[in-house]
Amino acid sequence: MDTRQLFRAAMGPYRFRSLIEATGSFAGHAADAPALKPAHGPIGHQVGVPQTGASYLVPGGRFFLTFDCNVLALWDFGLVGSVSQPRRMAHLDFPPGTFIGFEAGLKAFEISSFSETGKSSFRHLGELLLDKARGVRQVVVHGDRAIFDRAIFESTEFVIWDFVSSMYVVVKRVYDGFTSSPLELEKIYIHNALIELGEKSLRITDVPPDFVLNFGKPVTSTPVSLDTAEQQSLPTPQVLQYPPPDDIVDESRCFSGVINRHQAQLPLLFDIHRPYRSYTGIARLSFNFTRTPLGEIVPSPLTCIAKRAFPAGCMFGGSDMIGSLHVPDGFSKPVMRSIPMTLTLDNMAESESDAHEFIYSTAGAGETLNRCSLPGCRKEEVAKGTHKFCSGCRLVCYCSAKCQKRHWKPHKEVCKEQSQCIASGVVAPPMRIVKLVHPGPFPNSLLSNLGICAGSGRMVTSLLTGSYAEAQRRFNGVVLISDFLA
């Protein structure tokens, strides 16, 4: 990489955040959100994206991993801003049936002999056989250690596996009522502590660095059963309740809380759902902890650092992306997918075509220059605070009374509903958002976002599986690469 390329890579996180905040606008309705189009692409390439298995956009956006239970492959998409023909740098073939059955091997690999121009290879680090492996999910990998647990809501067992020492330990803990979705993205390992983000609380468990070496068993060819294996105990976890909402939420619409956790470093920032009567909001929480001289965990109180409301007319759900680099102030994976409020079983096919993805920023009205909320205007402020917010809903702002008048007809219904919410109590201020646009011949309902890196502004999409079978057969294995930074 030359000096210019190094500079682009180093400044990518800041440039992408600035792009979102400069393009984004406050919108009363999801349809009014400004569009963000790629500066380059999308460019289609055949890379064999699996219909079953997994794919992963490596932080930085240049490299891409695919695994379909038969082949593990590493692809080079080229430097961001100059998409070239993807090159398969390394691949590893597995014998048929390796990952089929109730007794399966968890295999660990690392990339060795890395070469930007030549061939690279995978190095086998180890293998752990688990009984009933279909019910086990990876929680997190940190250094030479991996943690797995059961993919059920009331799981009390998990496995810690150390690649280097080739040892493992099965941990048993008392069920304490803590509930969380059994997804690996809601569990984080930081500074020898396992942090789990639940529906209404956070749980932190100390995992001493020498725990596996002191209490572990050597890995053998015999499958390990979580039910019958010798189990060890960790220090008693601590549970912290999320701060209660100080605004009016619709408790009947509450569901699993965590939308988006941002980076595996302290302080840990994450967003939780705030369901209102006619729209969705988020509360961004900050969590930190220290240790005593004896190594005991001392958690700090959870604090709410921002509250924001998404536009009306759609339900918003998290679309978490693990292929991202840390960006200041927690701006690293703020991707949401919207579904129309009118979605029913009868109109699901039509509503899928109206589904969109958005990127949001919690930057407030006075933190950066605002744009006019009228689609077709989007005039930027000359100084902070010069655009005026609608006095009824406080969700949108305009550069002039003329723009406000032109926007009144489509905005009237949203404004009236929001005004009633404000009259009932305190509500969250508006969210600054942009709508991701996928140029090309494919409708949104056919596209699946495989990853977007907020550290480089690269997005990789593919066709959805499980529907539209004819198009699926025609375009199977094609990915679309889009770069939002010029």
- pTM, whole model, 2 decimals? 0.83
User: Which long-range contacts does 110-115 make (Cβ < 8 Å, 24+ apart)?
Assistant: 111/74, 115/89
Peptide bond preceding 267: is omega within 30 degrees of 0, i.e. cis? yes
- Determine the length of the chain: 486
457, 83 Cβ separation under 8 angstroms: no
Please tell me the least confidently modeled range out of 304-313, 339-348, 374-383, 403-412.
339-348
**What does residue 89 show for φ and ψ, rounded to 5 degrees?**
-80, -35
Q: What is the mean pLDDT of the chain?
A: 78
Query: Tell me: the pLDDT tens digits for 98-114?
Result: 776 545 578 888 888 77
- Picking from 364, 404, 361, 366, the residue whose alpha carbon sits closest to that of residue 383 is 366
Check pLDDT > 80 for residue 452.
Answer: yes
Give the pairing type, strands 297-299 and 268-275.
Answer: unpaired
Q: How far apart are CA 440 and CA 300, in angstroms?
A: 48
CA distances from 339 to 268, 372, 443 (A): 28, 25, 15
Query: Tell me: the pLDDT tens digits for 139-185?
Result: 677 778 888 876 655 567 888 999 889 999 999 877 776 765 544 44
Name residue 482's amino acid.
Answer: S
Query: Tell me: the pLDDT tens digits for 225-239?
Result: 877 788 899 988 999
pLDDT at 252: 57
pLDDT at 103: 52
pLDDT at 398: 94
Structure tokens at 77: 């998409």
Q: Cα 190 to chain center, whole Å?
A: 17
pLDDT band at 470 (very low <50, low <70, confident <90, very high): very low
Name residue 414's amino acid.
Answer: V
- Picking from 207, 220, 213, the residue whose alpha carbon sits closest to that of residue 164 is 213
pLDDT at 95: 86
Q: How many CA atoms, within 13 angstroms, populate the side-chain half-sphere of residue 103?
A: 7
261, 168 Cβ separation under 8 angstroms: no
Check pLDDT > 60 for residue 401.
Answer: yes
pLDDT at 326: 46
Of 37-51, 253-267, 296-310, 420-434, the range with the highest mean pLDDT is: 296-310
